[in-house]
Amino acid sequence: MADLGFWNQAQAYPNRRALVAPDGTELTAAELMARGNRLSHALRELGVKPGDVVATVLPNGIEMIEAYLGTFQIGCYLVPINHHLVGPEIAYIVGDSGAKVVIADERFADICSAATRDPAFTALHRLAVGKIEGWASYAETTSRQPDTLPGDRMAGQVMNYTSGTTGRPKGVRRELRPFDPDMVGQMFGMLLSMFGIQSESDNVHLCGSPLYHTAVLMFTSASLHFGHGVVIMDKWTPETCLQVIERYKVTTSHMVPTQFHRLLGLPPEVRSRYDLSSLRTMIHAAAPCPVDVKRRMIEWWGPVIYEYYAASEGGGTVVAPQEWLKYPGTVGRAWPGSDIKVFDDAGNECKPNQTGTVYMLLGANDFKYHKDETKTSDNRRDGYFTVGDIGYLNDEGYLFLCDRKVDMIISGGANIYPAEIESVLLMHPKVADAAAFGIPNEDWGEEVKAVIELAEGVQSTPAVADEILAFCEDKLAKYKRPKTIDFIEHMPRDPNGKLYKRKLRDPYWQGRSRAI
């Protein structure tokens, strides 16, 4: 086995299948390396230097992987932008990050054109995959470049912007160091070893979520650095996911609980149609996973489902399936090199089984919020950082999450965690998706509201609402139960499953302020 790191692997095994694009196009490791190299040379020709920023507005596809490889080996910051944002939001990230180059796909021409008209959009160069009026051709710019490795190689970084679910996005920026890209790639590849993943050549990673997300790009790139083949989906659907697993003998993937719930919603005859025996390690994170959902997935797929807890800022914890079955609901114990502490509102470290704000060790993974020293300092405590999650450690050091502090409901002085309510709602067969949050109540301060996306073919009627409320009666204490239910056609989630709860909650609080 050659040294790990994508470029080491590509030179040692040039003919190995490295990437399968959403349209079925297959690239060998040598072909993918050549394409990344051309982009590196093109960016340097445009004046990009170490420490400069390159932003992307790209779908899942070859160009997004090229952007990662092309920037990572010349010391750039790559800023992947959520292509579901609107023009001014894209312009803000471009301007805030200081991006010198923006690469976008013609599929997003309208929002990118709108972004360029915004004064915040300050990028000097614009490259279009396909055609966007006023943008240079990405294909022409890169095709005239050599396919050899660039000189003076230096590892770059991905600077993801936080989702903005609780405010304007901020870039999570880490210091660049003059390290060899392959050496850093090996370190990223070792991330996979925490989940029992080895560098066997027959491993195949399925990327079914948007690559602009931190973890999705991290696990996909780590797989490339480990010498694994990668299969990319542009539009994830539950049955197509099963088809891809069978066709390419997928061994690993990174998923979210929403995808699990939708997979379990397939009819039994569809679920049993596909050969999933190749699966070895299916990793999930990003949102609380209802215990019932995960238990059913383990029963279906076997003990291959691993979970972790982390954030764009760092992490974290990890739990193997056997551990989770012993402690259902846990997100695991601190992974190697990390540590977890829980503090109460007074800043005292909580005892086991006492709920408080979860903090993770910074260690060598230190970061800053780009251009926001106040936010950077506000989330620190004694060398640890928090993203505002609430939870507790049990006597054995396993972490259990309750909810995000900003989402916690306070009713009559009692703390209510929406994730617990949502887990119950999702057990009802007529519920496809659910959200719970607090709305104003004159007597209690807040009361619980549920918003539900119904399963296909189910009509939203008062009788269905009453049925779901009755379903909760023996599963939730009275003060935790939703008082009312609203139905929605589609829950406001991004394609990676993250729920923009503020879009549901904020209209109820117009003209009023919440206690948290």
Q: Are 342 and 359 in contact (CB under 8 A)?
A: yes
pLDDT tens track for 312-321: 788 789 999 9
Burial of 146 (0-12, 13-18, 19+ CB in 10 A): exposed
Question: So what's the pLDDT on residue 364?
Answer: 67
Rounded CA-CA distance 455/261 in Å is 11
pLDDT tens track for 349-406: 999 999 999 999 876 667 888 887 887 787 888 889 998 888 999 999 999 988 777 7
pLDDT greater than 80 at residue 267: yes
Rounded CA-CA distance 218/200 in Å is 19
Question: So what's the pLDDT on residue 498?
Answer: 75
- What the block records as the tokens of 253 is 């993937």
Cα angle value 447/452/455 (rounded, 5°): 160
- What the block records as the tokens of 208 is 């079914």
Maximum distance among all Cα pairs of the chain, rounded to whole angstroms: 70
Chain centroid to CA 392: 23
Rounded CA-CA distance 182/3 in Å is 9
R_g over Cα of the chain:
23
- What the block records as the tokens of 227 is 């010498």
Mean pLDDT over 484-510 rounds to 86
DSSP annotation of 335 reads P
Burial of 478 (0-12, 13-18, 19+ CB in 10 A): exposed
Domains annotated for the chain, with CATH where assigned, are 29-178 (3.40.50.980), 420-509 (3.30.300.30)
pLDDT tens track for 239-260: 999 999 999 999 999 998 889 9
Q: Which residue has the tokens 């994508």?
A: 6
Helices 462-472 and 418-425, packing angle to 10 deg: 120
Task: Output the average pLDDT for the chain.
Answer: 91
Which residue would you say has higher pLDDT here, 495 or 61?
A: 61
Question: So what's the pLDDT on residue 430?
Answer: 96
